[in-house]
Copies of this chain bind each other. A is one copy, B any other.
């Protein structure tokens, strides 16, 4: 769902140690290096504005595993950029069933689906220790009034989300279990690559059950598929550690566009 802001909203991942020692200087550097500065920094020009930013970011201390960033029904004030860690968004039906609507990795934005009604339609929960930047929507909107580039970028980001959600819709509706899982792996791989990490070796922070729920599969099926993929030499699975051995075949399996139409050739 939110795999798509990297081009514009690229966030510099932070290590856990950095979270502890947030000095004003350090943060300024972090923000200036971060591609999010196009949103964050122009809020004010002066140094004191940056200090304001400090406050905003400082306010969000890292979430620990299982903690909520926001809950269904919470009023919408800000969108969030993931700096490190990962999250999942879930919506619960009246029957109490839980449905995962997406996973969020560093450099991605969450919460834009709340703009419509000023209420968060999903809960977003940390899958591990996770640090986020808060971007007050009010300020972002004000800013976009003056900066047409920013305004366009916001529209583009949202449009991209629509476009890619539609791709995901297709995937879920039309693909087999095998194709779904391959597509998810390709999606995560691509997103890791975009943020500068290895696209061929990564750790899944979500459980088999989470993956199954998201893909509309039984967790047993997910487990079996991991086994089959390994037998076929496509990947190596070690608990949550995934190594992609045969990127091309996996991409082919994922089918049309590798979840987001970016085959070998990079789009844009």
Q: How far is the CA of A117 from the CA of B165 in the complex (A)?
A: 15
The 8 A CB mask of A162-193 against B (1 = contact, 0 = none) is 11011111101110000000000000000000
> Which residues in B have their C-beta under 8 angstroms from that of A206?
none
Q: Is the CB of B163 within 8 A of A121?
A: yes
Q: Is the CB of A166 within 8 A of B257?
A: no
Q: Is the CB of A151 within 8 A of B144?
A: yes
User: Which residue on B lies nearest to A157, using beta carbons?
Assistant: B116
In the assembled complex, the CB of A92 is this many whole angstroms from the nearest CB of chain B, namely 9
A102 at the interface (CB under 8 A from B): yes
User: Which residue on B lies nearest to A146, using beta carbons?
Assistant: B145
A93 at the interface (CB under 8 A from B): yes
A115 at the interface (CB under 8 A from B): yes
A245 at the interface (CB under 8 A from B): no
In the assembled complex, the CB of A255 is this many whole angstroms from the nearest CB of chain B, namely 7
A29 at the interface (CB under 8 A from B): no
**Of the residues B158, B173, B256, B263, contact of A172 by C-beta under 8 Å:** B173
Q: How far is the CA of A1 from the CA of B167 in the complex (A)?
A: 12
A47 at the interface (CB under 8 A from B): no
User: Which residue on B lies nearest to A101, using beta carbons?
Assistant: B166
Q: How far is the CA of A113 from the CA of B114 in the complex (A)?
A: 18
The 8 A CB mask of A228-268 against B (1 = contact, 0 = none) is 00000000000000000000000000011100000100001
